[in-house]
Chain A
Amino acid sequence: MAAWDLTVTVEDLGPDAPPLQISVASDLHIGGVILKLVEQTNLKKDWSDHALWWEQKQQWLLRTGWTLDKCGVHADARLVFTPQHKPLRLGLPNGATLKMRACFSSSAFRTVMGICRVLSKKHLLLPMMKNKDSSEELYDLTDVPLTAGSVQALYNGMPAHFADSPKTEAVYKMLSVSLPSSAPEAIAKLYRPASVVDKTHIHTRWLDSSRSLMQQGIQENDKLWLRFKYYTFHDMDPKYDAVRLTQLYEQARWAILLEDIDCTEEEMMLFGALQYHIGKLSLSQDMVSSCQGMDDLESALKSLEVKMVGDSNSTDMLESMTAPELNDYLKIFRPKRLTLKGYKQYWCKFQDTSISYYKSKEDRYGEPIQQLNLKGCEVAPDVNVAGQKFCIKLLIPAPEGMNEIYLRCENEKQYSQWMAACKLASKGLTLLDISYQSEVKNIQTFLSMQRSNSAAPAAQTDDSINTHSLVSPRYQKKYKPKQLTPRILEAYQNVAQLSLTSAILKFLQIWQALPDFGISYFMVRFKGSRKDEVLGIANNRLIRIDLGIGDVVKTWRYNNMRQWNVNWDIRQVAIEFDGNINIAFSCVNADCKVVHEYIGGYIFMSTRSRQQSDTLNEELFHKLTGGHEAL
């Protein structure tokens, strides 16, 4: 067989080095080509990761047993001899960028799996594949109009274990601990989708998971986004996967801050309060305690301690069971119709779950003017630190309705004590409860935050978080910090007792309960229709949205779905539902493979939840998402 010259560029020789010419025959297999190539370079190194990349055809020649002939390589082919693993910059959900080596030659699906495996390597007990069901996918950065909020650090990552060195530990911390929020101005500057149409653009950029990175034009050191693509989260067990939980939280948080998903004002305040709480706990958390469940354990131990002490010296305990009281002069105000009476000072006693008030301290042994049982009442703060106003608003239920009563405290300290007591009492707990002290402290911290805000708005210390950074720009515009803080404080009352993990889980729960949660939008044109419409893909249904009205026109559920396929010639996705309902659409701004893969991916996820196996069935995934055969 005739020999001919094959041109191969060897990257390791340097960018300016001329391509090598090697003499080959058509029946030479790829392995032989590589062998010849290596001999010719005269370089002594480990070539095991290298493979041949066929530039014109945009494909790898990975089967070393195949002959050039079989691969279709002729003299005009320009091949590149290059490593299969290259560094890649990954934009994580939390805004940090991670640099790590990824495989450019296998399917994106596998590559992502490999990356995830590394990221959660700490948990070796986990089946390696497990992380994949979080379905992180790569986001192509090339046409992303924004730079991630803050490029916190570039880490060279391929650590065998995160604990290997301080540096890798830091990486792990970055991954597993939520980062402090950025300044509100920075958030405002970030790109926000203004409409459903904007949202469809984001989703055009998902990579094809059946092809390799290289095939999709990703170059060494390019930046990709790593995101949770499918909104079906199985096995959300914080004990196993701190990284995943934290990153999921970050993704949810940014989706809310950037108004990617809409929520009401009340919900936003709660999200803000949770963010504040999570941020505060994360800051105070050191590496070790980042191990999940630690905080829970701690509190369990604490209460255990209390019990033990109680058992050992019972008499003391019994005495201490006499509930402590709060006694002080407070100003009380009961708004009534047609009265302009203001606050009046009384001697107040807080005992158990009740407040009794007396005309003066001297009268305290007599009958109280009134006794208020706070069990089941609503407690709301009415505070303005700058104005030195510390009021507690109580709505005490009674058969006739709610009694509205305001307690005015002199200072922060008094306020935090009484507020905490009211809060506990409303839940039926007394001052004895172990959470009392921490509740007091929480309130004080929050107040101090407000104080530092008003004193030095720009100051961003560890302790102070600008409340504006906790809400989306819409609410930043709507409210001044002075107005916002009390509202977040109010919501904060209800979450201040949560541990870090439960706060994160709570955040995710509320996020998932939002009506628009988990819908990915694509611009499509339905068959027989003349206008562009939006197709929403969720984990259990497809939604057709009329752009004119902005309203849901129709929903189809996957479990009524008979089959779906792609006509690659006209690039149209066709779906058949029960009852002879057929729909077909083409994609306006995304590749129809993306849409098809999305739907197939959700079907795949639903099969997973049923069988609960630990390994991912890659074959099934590709079968469902590939669109090559009808199911």
Chain B
Amino acid sequence: MDDIDAMFSDMLQEMDLLTQSLGEEAESAPLPKPPSIPDPQEMNFSIGFTDLNASLHDLEDNDLDALMADLVADISATEEKFATERDTFTGSAPVAPKPSQPQSNFSLLASTDTSRPATSYNSIAAPPLPPASKPSKDELEEQMKADKIKLALEKLKEAKVKKLVVKVEIMDGSSKTLMVDERQTVRDVIDNLFEKTHCDCNVDWSVCETNPDLQTERGFEDHENLVEPLSTWTRDTENKVLFQEKIDKYEVFRNPQNFYLWKKDKKSLKDMKDKDKEQLLEENFCGASVIVPDLEGVLYLKEDGKKSWKQRYFLLRASGLYYSPKGKTKASRDLVCLVQFDNVNVYYCKEYRIKYKAPTDHCFILKHPQIQKESQYIKYLCCDDEWTMTLWVTGIRIAKYGKQLYDNYKAAVRKAAGSATWANRTIQASSSASTPSPTPKAKAANGHAPQPAVETKGSGNQTSFPPPPPSMEILPPPPPDPSFPPPPPSMEILPPPPPDHMLPPPPPNTAKVNKFPPPPQFPQSSFPPPPMDDLPPPPPPPEDAELPPDFLPPPPPSLTSNGGEALPPPPPDPFASLPPPPSAPQNFASAGGAPPPPPPPPPPPTPAPAPAAHKPHDSVRKVAPPPLKRTTPQLTAPSGGDFMSELMTAMQKKRSHQ
């Protein structure tokens, strides 16, 4: 809990800073990360591979906007998903792929998570589309339903789209953080990084992963998806993602003779004519099947479970890596297959002379990508020199990926050529305050989110207030709530729905809103900012769903607090005490930390959340002070993931401080 709280406060801080800076257009100094919090621990909760906390700090405004939009999209997606009662898992973890990690501290969170999905489901079931239904729910309901159905398949897919916030280290020691969605290829990510780093866009740039445990490094191939391998990293991993130039990446296409004619003497290969190189490529990569370099030679193989390395005569074939057993010929029939490439990747290794007593430091291993630690299922190989290693690793890559590799190269060359000519433009574009959203694909994903999400995101910077209006539109559902007629009709069902729907929209708005809203909020008399109110509600819903009776009470308070928003009321009540800056931080600030969502409405009925909340609370308190100024509604978008719930709690905490 501490971690979470700390993290959230961090995030909030960061968001505040960002928004403020935006307002002044002085985004330059996002401020050092709040020193207050111990980062190492936080990392655990982060997305499993990068430090969420840190990554959020690193996020640029645009990214932030995009992130928010994404989150919104996720929410809507999850709703869809639940509506269809399908696959709860993916839905719950749009951002954090592994919400399941059992941490005692998170027990509360977990419960809120589960409850939330439930509520969202209910909401949809009853009033499928609250927003639209504003005027006459029933009629529109039908229509909306039909529309939704049409998109059902697509949305289902959307709902399953995983997104990760990835921190990429760049050679100069700096790092960039970006949002990567499941469908993006490494090529997309590289293009994205080109935009952010203004490096020369040559074909050698690659995204690599390093594993300090195994001391390995591997460049992702351009056609691979980044999210999948990253999501198999362990939670406490110290693996890193690097962005660097790797000459090996496409060397085989620049100088194919060095790989395909490696037996010939180097001199004759050196000044090979381009025409001949081309032909070599055509012969080997453009036929019906790709021809793998006919590598063969002595390599050292680490013996299973021992520290000794044994020399063997290896041969590379399209079907796998073979060696010829002692006393046998090199004839195909006598070869023993060490490994086939379907399920393994090849990794460069560092300093294996020390680690495994390898004969040289030129080692590579073959392993299943999910294996992260030393294991008998890893094949360790050692070469005499670096060039031999490059030869084998490249050969194995060709055997594994075939023509795809060549296609990747051609695409990279095209890109490099294109970027050279467009360099000026891109630089300008990127330099201007409003950089395009992270990636086209991400945008697409957002497209499914409630109307405002996409546009707002894109235009975020310029249109400071436009966002609010959209939120208003979305809010419509809430209005009914405020009046509280809705509750009566279907006590349990209706209340929750509005919040859910409300939630999605708010985040986007908030993202932009932040930039300008700040002012309004400051005046904040308790909870005036309507959008804000919308956000808080989400948390309550879950509880409401669980405890319908409890829910009833909230309405009245809500009325009192803000006529505008039905749901907001519930939170306010609990927090009512909180608003008073002084007391709030202590008691329920904690609640804000993790459990906050539940606490607001239910606090009285559900004691459980509150206690849990206390722990975080403390930590939160410490942290909270600095950022306090701003309420950061933006973060609240709850999609059902841990991340979301955390955001929620963070939000509430913030509020309380205010």
Contact = CB atoms under 8 A, between A and B. Distances in A.
Interface of A: 233, 236, 262-267, 270, 307, 310-311, 314-315, 317-319, 321-323, 352, 376, 378, 395, 397-402, 474, 494, 505, 508-510, 512-516, 540, 550-551, 555, 559-560, 579
Interface in B374-404: 375-378
Given A399-B370, A509-B289, A559 B279 contact: yes
Nearest to A512: B289
Nearest to B282: A609
Contacts of B279: 559
B318 A398 contact: no
Nearest to A506: B289
Contacts of B378: 401
Given A310-B153, A513-B292, A264 B332 contact: yes
A76 to B, nearest CB: 55
Given A322-B86, A323-B86, 7 more contacts: A236-B288, A315-B149, A399-B373, A509-B288, A513-B292, A515-B294, A515-B332
Contact of A400 (B86, B268, B373): B373
A399 B150 CA distance: 41
A311 B263 CA distance: 60
Given A262-B333, A264-B317, A540-B283, A318 B373 contact: no
Nearest to A403: B377
Contact of A513 (B232, B291, B340): B291
Interface in B342-376: 342-343, 368-373, 375-376
Nearest to B276: A559
A381 to B, nearest CB: 16
B84 A321 contact: yes
Nearest to A555: B263
Instruction: Output the residue of A262, A510, A514, A515 with the most chain B CB within 10 A.
Output: A515
A263 B376 contact: no
A402 B333 contact: no
A531 to B, nearest CB: 20
A278 B85 CA distance: 41
A471 B343 CA distance: 25
B317 A397 contact: no
Interface in B117-155: 149-150, 152-153
B370 A264 contact: no
Contact of B371 (A311, A323, A397, A560): A397
B84 A318 contact: yes
A510 B319 contact: yes
A398 B369 CA distance: 9
A266 B319 contact: yes
B337 A508 contact: no
B337 A266 contact: yes
Contacts of B232: 376, 397, 399
Contacts of A540: 283
User: What is the size category of the interface that chain B forms with chain A?
Assistant: 35 or more
B212 interface: no
20 contacts: A236-B288, A264-B335, A267-B319, A267-B332, A314-B152, A317-B152, A321-B85, A321-B156, A376-B368, A376-B369, A397-B371, A398-B371, A399-B232, A400-B371, A510-B289, A513-B290, A513-B291, A515-B317, A540-B283, A559-B276
Contacts of B371: 397-402
Interface in B445-496: none
Contacts of B234: 399
A505 B288 CA distance: 9
B303 interface: no
Nearest to A508: B288
A262 B317 CA distance: 12
B287 interface: yes
Contacts of B291: 513
Contacts of B330: 551
B85 to A, nearest CB: 6
A264 B319 contact: yes
A605 to B, nearest CB: 12
Interface string B230-254: 0011100000000000000000000
Interface string B602-629: 0000000000000000000000000000
Contacts of B85: 318-319, 321-322
Contacts of A262: 331-333
Given A400-B375, A513-B292, A263 B86 contact: no
B87 A402 contact: no
B530 interface: no
Contacts of B294: 515
User: Which residue among A402, A494, A509 has the maximum number of chain B CB atoms within 10 Å of its CB?
Assistant: A402
Interface in B316-331: 317-320, 322, 329-331
A355 to B, nearest CB: 15
A315 B150 CA distance: 11
A322 B335 CA distance: 48
Contact of A323 (B83, B87, B149, B288): B87
A366 to B, nearest CB: 16
B337 A401 contact: no
B320 A510 contact: no
Contacts of A317: 152
Contacts of A398: 370-371
A431 to B, nearest CB: 13
Nearest to B273: A559
B252 to A, nearest CB: 17
A319 B329 CA distance: 60
Given A399-B371, A400-B375, A513 B318 contact: yes
A264 B333 contact: yes
A401 B376 CA distance: 7
A510 B340 CA distance: 14
Q: Which of B87, B292, B370 has the most CB of A within 10 A?
A: B370
A479 to B, nearest CB: 13
A266 B340 contact: yes
B339 to A, nearest CB: 10
Closest 10 CB pairs of A and B: A401-B375, A314-B149, A397-B370, A399-B372, A513-B318, A262-B332, A509-B289, A397-B368, A318-B84, A402-B377
Given A310-B153, A399-B234, A401-B377, A513 B368 contact: no
Contacts of B333: 262-265, 474
A397 B373 CA distance: 11
A358 to B, nearest CB: 18
Contacts of A267: 317, 319, 332
Nearest to A432: B86
Contact of B343 (A266, A378, A550): A378
Contacts of B263: 555
Nearest to A268: B333
Contacts of B83: 318
A264 B489 CA distance: 73
Nearest to B289: A509
Contacts of A474: 333
A544 to B, nearest CB: 13
Contacts of A402: 368, 371, 375, 377
A533 to B, nearest CB: 18
A604 to B, nearest CB: 16
Contact of B289 (A399, A494, A513): A513
A263 B377 contact: no
A318 B159 CA distance: 14
Contacts of B153: 307, 310
Of residues B153, B234, B268, B378, which shows the largest number of chain A Cβ atoms within 10 Å of its Cβ?
A: B153
A609 to B, nearest CB: 8
A376 B376 CA distance: 18
Interface string B71-89: 0000000000001111101
B341 to A, nearest CB: 11
A550 B149 CA distance: 68
B317 A512 contact: no
Contacts of A263: 332-333
A414 B412 CA distance: 48
Nearest to A539: B283
B189 to A, nearest CB: 21
Contacts of A376: 232, 343, 368-370
